[in-house]
Amino acid sequence: MSKQPRILLTGFTPFGNEDINPSWEAVRELEGRHIAGHVVVARLLPTIFAESRRELGLMVDEVAPAILLGVGQAGGRSRLSLERVAINVQDARMADNAGVQPIDEAIVADGPAAYFSSLPIKAMLKALLAEGVPAEVSNTAGTFVCNHVAYLMLHLAARHHDLRAGFIHIPYLPSQAARFPNAPSMAQEDVVRGLIIALQVAATQRTDDRFGAGALD
């Protein structure tokens, strides 16, 4: 592998009744891309609680990234959602792809209640909006496998001071949204462009910008 610092960028397998997962469709386009002196390593995670944990650990050991960014599908959202926080709970309203449905279980038994993103999410937001990419700061990554992986990424980053981590949720692709009345979507090329912009900021800025981007509800 290149001696350049690496970005480990992950997407997920399809889940529910979907045949594709837009996170992996976008993430795999960036495999080998050079962004701000870093090289992107794209990897696919299973939408399975236990296996995603095992696979993530193996990937981090193999790649030794400087930046770890997870990407996941959030059907119903209309923007790239830069997740501020991941919480230490698994509370699945549906089973994962292995048929497992944890309810009110901790991700890490002795872990903190939550972790905040260690990426400059407001600077990333500012850059995305400046380039016309719909984006927002999100204060919930849910309680399914996306939050599970986001929490584990930040748990790893808390123990490796040379690693920074975060998570972004993305909307449906138009082909997925067409099955649901009035469901928002985003074209894959816009998602890819947004991920590049976000990673450029993450790779070059450690101190976040400070401006209001919270939510009233």
The strand pair at 135-138 and 38-45 is best described as: unpaired
Region 186-201: mean pLDDT is 98
pLDDT value, residue 18: 92
SS3 (DSSP) at 149: helix
pLDDT value, residue 161: 84
Query: Where in the chain does DSSP place strands (E)?
Result: 6-12, 34-35, 38-45, 67-73, 80-83, 85-87, 114-116, 135-138, 164-170
What pTM did the predictor assign?
Answer: 0.96
133-151 burial by CB neighbour count: b if 16+ within 10 A, else e? bbbbbbeebbbbbbbbbbb
pLDDT tops 70 at residue 135: yes
pLDDT value, residue 114: 98
Q: Each residue of 39-56: pLDDT tens digit? A: 999 999 999 999 999 999
In terms of CATH architecture, what is 6-204? 3-Layer(aba) Sandwich (3.40)
Region 84-112: mean pLDDT is 97
User: For the chain, what is the mean pLDDT?
Assistant: 96
Q: Each residue of 157-180: pLDDT tens digit? A: 999 889 999 999 999 999 999 998
CB 163 within 8 A of CB 108: no
Cα atoms in the 13 Å half-sphere on the side-chain side of 205: 18
pLDDT band for 76, please (50, 70, 90 cuts): very high
Give the integer Cα–Cα distance in Å for 117 and 151.
Answer: 9
Of 138, 136, 139, 118, the closest CA to residue 128 belongs to 136
pLDDT value, residue 3: 83
Of 119, 167, 115, 163, the closest CA to residue 141 belongs to 167
pLDDT value, residue 216: 82
Q: Bridge partners of 12? A: 45
Element (H, E) at 204: helix 188-204
Give catalytic residues, as residue numbers: 83, 146, 169
pLDDT value, residue 40: 98
CB 20 within 8 A of CB 28: no
pLDDT tops 60 at residue 2: no
Q: What is the DSSP letter of 56?
A: H
Residue 30, both tokens: 């960036």
